[in-house]
Structure 1
Amino acid sequence: MDAAAAKLIGAGIATFGMGLAALGVGIIFGMYLQGALRNPAAANSQRPNLLFGFAVTEALGIFSFLVALILLFVV
């Protein structure tokens, strides 16, 4: 296997992180909505946890995208 093919395979594997980050964001918001509908009084107190979980999950997706770009375009 030559180096160009290995770079493409590595970048493809790194992009799985973006899909998993999208899945994680969906789970986070779904669980928040489920909890807010069960107990509306506690929904406002859980909003900072929701935003923190969203930020961390999206950051991991962006990092995996960055790794894919580095593998593709950095010599």
Structure 2
Amino acid sequence: MLLNAAKLIGAGLATISIAGTGVGIGIIFSALISAYSRTPEHQKQLFTYAILGFALSEAIALFGLMLSFLILFS
């Protein structure tokens, strides 16, 4: 009983990374819109950097989700 409760608490704590990822993605794209308005001639390069930042932020969420599944089902 105690082990099952500890697993559920650990899995819940591991999913907190998803909330942080949502905030990070919002910051990335708000900075992209701000950069577009300042220098519209660099749109292609800025978009490439934004997609790279989005992919890295999303990877953190996937790692947290994978960790929570490992905790639950091991």
Same fold (TM over 0.5): yes
Greater than 2 Å deviation, 4+ residue runs: none
Give the corresponding residue for 1:7: 7
* Higher deviation after alignment, 11-20 or 35-44: 35-44
Q: Which residue of 2 aligns with 1:37?
A: 37
Q: What runs of 5+ residues in structure 1 fail to find an aligned partner?
A: none
| 1:31-73 CA distance string (max 9 Å, x none) | 0111101211122221211111010000110110111111111
* Residue of structure 2 in register with 1:61 after alignment: 61
Give the count of matched residue pairs.
74
- Which consecutive unaligned segments of at least 5 residues does structure 2 have? none
CA distance, structure 2, for counterparts of residue 43 and residue 32 of structure 1: 9
